[in-house]
């Protein structure tokens, strides 16, 4: 797609999520990769409270935590008034002033209100192209409980689990614990149904761990997943594309802790990434096939990282019969050392070219949406 003028790209980061800080890390790498010869970039930061901000060096200012130099803005869901609007305080109240046109939005928002379909719905209403999955793909990929049901229906193996509400945990804890203990022997994993980056996840090896884990997960979501624990290898593959998605070579995570926790991912810097994953050719192809099947099953678009667990309890390494699909992450970590871009780099696609491709896919998807009829007139 050739254009004479620069593409106006709005990069959105931060957000009302437990993954706010992770988003800032990813955004730094994306911003650095956007070629100023191709793109006119607007940085849009969203605070923990949900305020949208623009200005000079938004990412740097947000990392410092002092927003006084930034200006509040809004994206309104009216396609006839496309663009970003500055919110100005006047003696007559707040006024909206059009700030800039946006051709495409690159949301680098992990977790709630960024990866779950909510902000994608706003982009759809505003009729703006955006990178990544749509409303349906985002919400299905985000909700671990519903996602497992879909994978089960498609014949893709997933680890046994139970889903509980925050209210059940608060009002009927003994029953919840009893059902969880009946699911499988320890260890059990407890996690928020709608969150990522291992935020709120607890590996439980006792009843007291389980109680603590249930309350911890319920802090971050109203629905909590309890899953049978595995002695597993963690295999990941990156997917890129819309209607005809492609899979990268798989990689393996060797976590520095008991599992690939938030600390292991972002703090201690001692986890190891093995690219390509040291698995058989047959297992490699199965992982890639399952990943593409899952991607299509939830109507994903643009990108996703698909995570697998390879149970090594019986053989010590894991076989095809020990493979379980864990989740589809529709807004994967995007730092230069994150698995998603590193897998594509190992597959022959550089970080900057990957960012270019994602913007092209966003505009391709928008072109496809624009071909949908919005009015129906019955012929007489």
Phi, psi of 278 (to 5 degrees): -75, 75
- 358 domain-assigned: no
Tokens of 216: 């911890």
Same domain, 103 and 201: no
Are residues 242 and 215 located together in one domain of the fold?
A: no
Q: Is 18 contained in some domain?
A: yes
**Contact yes or no for 281/117 (Cβ under 8 A):** no
What is the predicted pLDDT for the residue at 93?
86
Domain that holds residue 59: 7-130
Q: Is 38 helix (H, G, I), strand (E, B) or coil?
A: coil
Q: If you average pLDDT over residues 144-150, what whole number do you get?
A: 96
| Banded model confidence at residue 103, pLDDT cuts 50, 70, 90 | very high
Instruction: Indicate if the pLDDT at residue 214 is higher than 60.
Output: yes
Average pLDDT, rounded, for the chain: 92
pLDDT score recorded for residue 270: 67
Give the count of alpha carbons within 13 A of 310, CB side only: 23
| Total domains in the fold of the chain | 3
CA 67 to CA 72: how far, in whole Å? 10
Count CA atoms within 13 Å of residue 139 on its CB side.
Answer: 8
Residues 171 and 149 in one domain: no
Instruction: Kindly state the average pLDDT of the residues 185-203.
Output: 88
Kindly report the three-state secondary structure assignment for every residue of 263-300.
HHHHCCCCCEEECCCCCCHHHHHHHHHHHHHHHHHCCC
Q: What is the DSSP letter of 6?
A: P
Query: What angle is formed at CA 151 by the lines to CA 149 and CA 153, rounded to 5 degrees?
Result: 70
Q: Is the pLDDT of residue 265 over 60?
A: no
Shared-domain flag, residues 315 and 190: no
Indicate yes or no: pTM above 0.75: yes
pLDDT at 106 over 70: yes
Question: What percent of the chain is modeled with pLDDT above 90?
Answer: 82
Two tokens, residue 267: 């703090």
Mean pLDDT over 119-128 rounds to: 97
pLDDT digits (tens, 9 = 90+) for 22-51: 999 999 999 999 999 999 999 999 999 999
Do residue 148 and residue 286 come from a single domain?
yes
How much is the average pLDDT of 152-170? 97
Task: For residue 129, name the pLDDT band (cuts at 50, 70, 90).
Answer: very high
Q: How far out from the chain centre does Cα 42 lie?
A: 21
Same domain, 189 and 311: no
Single out the residue of 137, 113, 295, 308 nearest to residue 195, CA to CA: 113
pLDDT of residue 3: 53
pLDDT surpassing 90 at residue 376: no
The per-residue pLDDT for 1 is 45
Please check whether residues 66 and 103 belong to one and the same domain: yes
The percentage of the chain sitting over the pLDDT mark of 70, rounded to a whole number, equals 94
Q: At what angle do helices 339-346 and 351-370 cross, to 10 degrees?
A: 100
Domain endpoint, select from 228, 248, 274: 228
Last residue of a domain, one of 111, 130, 149: 130
Tell me how far CA of residue 12 lies from CA of 53, 54, 61, 75, 155, in angstroms: 10, 10, 14, 11, 36
Same domain, yes or no: 75 and 179: no
Mean local confidence (pLDDT), 148-170: 97
E-strand stretches of 111-250: 129-130, 161-165, 188-192, 202-204, 223-228, 232-241, 246-247
Same domain, 345 and 289: yes
pLDDT digits (tens, 9 = 90+) for 338-367: 999 999 999 999 999 999 999 999 999 999
* Residue 377 predicted with pLDDT over 90: no
Which has the higher per-residue pLDDT, 271 or 224? 224
Decide: 339 and 332 in contact? Cβ < 8 Å.
Answer: yes
DSSP 8-state symbol, 118: H
Q: What is the pLDDT of residue 262?
A: 53
Structural domain includes residue 365: no
Answer with the one of 228, 254, 273 that is the final residue of a domain: 228
């Amino acid at each position: 797609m050739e254009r004479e003028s620069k593409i106006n790209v709005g990069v959105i980061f931060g957000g009302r999520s437990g993954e706010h800080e992770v988003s800032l890390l990813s955004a730094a790498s994306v911003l650095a990769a956007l070629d100023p010869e191709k793109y006119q970039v607007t940085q849009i930061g969203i605070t923990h409270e949900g305020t949208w901000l623009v200005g000079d060096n938004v990412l740097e200012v947000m990392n410092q935590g002092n927003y006084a130099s930034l200006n509040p803005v809004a994206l309104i869901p009216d396609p006839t008034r496309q663009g970003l609007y500055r919110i100005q305080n006047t003696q007559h109240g707040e006024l909206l002033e059009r700030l800039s046109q946006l051709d495409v939005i690159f949301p680098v928002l992990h977790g709630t209100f960024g990866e779950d379909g909510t902000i994608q719905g706003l982009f759809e209403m505003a009729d703006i192209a955006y990178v990544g999955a749509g409303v349906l793909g985002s919400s299905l990929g985000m909700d671990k409980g519903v996602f497992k049901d879909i994978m089960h229906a498609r014949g893709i193996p997933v680890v046994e689990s139970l889903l509980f509400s925050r209210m059940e945990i608060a009002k009927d804890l003994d029953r919840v614990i009893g059902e969880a203990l009946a699911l499988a022997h320890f260890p059990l994993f407890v996690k928020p149904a709608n969150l990522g980056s291992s935020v709120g996840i607890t590996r439980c090896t006792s009843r007291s761990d389980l109680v603590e884990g249930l309350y911890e997960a319920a802090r971050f979501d109203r629905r909590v997943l309890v899953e049978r624990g595995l002695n597993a290898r963690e295999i990941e593959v990156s997917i890129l594309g819309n209607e005809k998605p492609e899979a990268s070579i798989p990689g393996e995570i060797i976590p520095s802790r008991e599992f690939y926790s938030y600390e292991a991912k972002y703090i201690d810097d001692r986890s190891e990434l093995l690219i390509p994953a040291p698995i058989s050719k047959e297992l490699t192809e199965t992982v890639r096939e399952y990943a593409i099947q899952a991607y299509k099953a939830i109507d994903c678009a643009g990108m996703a990282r698909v995570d697998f667990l390879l149970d090594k309890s019986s053989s010590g390494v894991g076989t095809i019969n020990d493979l379980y699909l864990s989740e589809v992450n529709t807004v994967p970590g995007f730092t230069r050392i994150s698995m998603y871009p590193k897998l594509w780099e190992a597959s022959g696609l550089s970080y900057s070219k990957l960012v270019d491709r994602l913007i092209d896919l966003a505009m391709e998807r928008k072109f496809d949406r624009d071909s949908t009829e919005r009015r129906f007139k019955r012929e007489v």
